[in-house]
Structure 1
Amino acid sequence: MAGKNGRFWLIPLAFAVSGLLAFGATWATADRIEHDLRDEAQTALRDAGMRAPAVTIDGRDATVSNVPRGHGERAGTVVGGVEGVRAVDVQEAQTGPAAVRTQRAIDGALRRTPIGFVPYGDELTAGGRSAVAHVADILRSAPTTLRFEVAGHVAPVPNLDDDEARTLSRERADAVAADLAEAGIPRDRLTTVGHGDTRPVAGGDGPEADRANRRVEIHVR
């Protein structure tokens, strides 16, 4: 009897272990669903031509923040159309005088010296490094409430398919964000996005057009 009674404790232990395993599996599944929904929502926004607002998922409810003013309804429609998303809360960015001044300063600096890259790579040119350093000075002097989107682009060339172009453009954005963080801009104030070759600023297929399109832009969010 003592032996049997001694084994009774195994029964509740087995239930406890099973419960923990079930909880862990449920948590992992929920986390994976949230991750997948976030990726799908961000992809849908990019495909719709929006500058990748920040997306967070809680369960199946989405929050889309830093949406440019006037684009909230469209962002809500795009994310709401993602299969699996139950509800969407859209938060438009507030554009105040400080944001406008900062964006103008950034745009002026990049018109004078664009953030350029070597062909087919994420290595900055000498001019590109100079441009990033200048932009870092502007961002350091901006109000700490401002956030910035670092958007990468590639030149339209036949050697890259759509996925490769998007990946390379994102790598360029990540390289600039890393340099800005090294220059003292908190990384949590920077988001990155790659637009591939979908937004050229120069037409044609010559070297000058390629250099112009092979770039990174920075937007106040």
Structure 2
Amino acid sequence: MAGKNGRFWLIPLAFAVSGLLAFGATWATADRIEHDLQGEAQTALRDAGVAAPDVTIDGRDVTVADVPKGHGDRVRGVVGDVEGVRAVDVQETKADPAAVRTQQAIDGALRRSPIRFAPYGDELTGAGRRAVTHVADILRSAPTTLRFEVAGHVAKVPNLDGDEARALSRERADAVATQLADAGISRDRLTTVGHGDTRPVADGYDAKSDRVNRRVEIHVR
């Protein structure tokens, strides 16, 4: 009888061991989820052409710090689209006055003379090449600490699928970056990204809409 009673202590021990094993498995799973989400969020930001900010994970909640001023909504959208992310907290840095002035100069130049392309290709029009030359003058006068994202876009074309649209828009961005580099802007200061036809500035398939959507934008990063 004493032997049987002596084995009673094994029951709570078994429960304790099971509990510790369950806790360890849960902790390991949570840690793996956080690690995976961090990697996926960083990859999504990199693919979107966003300079690598500080990404931290708490469960399924993501905090992105050191985001350039004015880019919070974009970062929030990119990270929020990552599967498994529950909430996104974006912390923007204070605006750099030199960056603000440079972006304003670029935006003004491109409003007056947009960077345009021939249809269905990455060949700049004559006006497009002159627009890039004007932007290069602005970038040369900017502080060398500034970096620039060259973002390509295409018009909505019924027979152009998403992958083809992104590839063409990236080729257009690369063409502009090449001309900027030829004009003396260090290639290390330039990144390129292709958005395909996902960010039109005009709706419709008419010639005017196509012309304004077939463009490249340049953003200070």
> What is the TM-score of this pair, normalised by structure 2?
0.66
Partner of 1:181: 181
Partner of 2:152: 152
Superposed counterparts of 1:168-207, under 5 Å: 168-207=168-207
Using the alignment, how far apart are the partners of 1:107 and 1:70 within structure 2? 14
- Secondary structure of 1:54's counterpart equals coil
- Secondary structure of 2:178's counterpart equals helix
Where structure 1 has 5 or more consecutive residues not aligned to the other structure, the ranges are 1-32, 47-51, 58-62, 85-89
Partner of 1:103: 103
Where structure 2 has 5 or more consecutive residues not aligned to the other structure, the ranges are 1-35, 55-62, 85-89
- Given that residues 154 and 214 in structure 2 are in contact (C-alpha distance below 8 angstroms), is that contact kept between their aligned partners in structure 1? yes
Partner of 1:13: none
Partner of 1:137: 137
Higher-Rg member (1/2): 2
Residues 70-79 or 202-211, more deviating: 70-79
* 1:161-203 superposed Cα distances (whole Å, 9 cap, x missing partner): 1111111101100110111011100111111111111111122
- Secondary structure of 1:216's counterpart equals strand
Using the alignment, how far apart are the partners of 2:77 and 2:198 within structure 1? 22
- Given that residues 45 and 78 in structure 2 are in contact (C-alpha distance below 8 angstroms), is that contact kept between their aligned partners in structure 1? no
Runs of 4+ with deviation above 6 angstroms: 63-66
Relative to structure 1, is the Cα distance of residues 176 and 70 closer, same or farther in structure 2, using a 3 angstrom cutoff? Answer: closer
Q: CA deviation at 1:69?
A: 2.7
Q: CA deviation at 1:98?
A: 1.1
Using the alignment, how far apart are the partners of 1:37 and 1:177 within structure 2? 27
Q: CA deviation at 1:75?
A: 4.0
Q: CA deviation at 1:41?
A: 2.2
Q: 1:41 aligns with which of 41, 44, 50?
A: 44
- Secondary structure of 1:193's counterpart equals strand
* CA RMSD, Structure 1 to Structure 2 (Å): 3.4
Q: Alignment identity in percent?
A: 71
Partner of 2:3: none
> What is the TM-score of this pair, normalised by structure 1?
0.66
Q: Which amino acid aligns with 1:53?
A: V
Using the alignment, how far apart are the partners of 1:208 and 1:76 within structure 2? 32
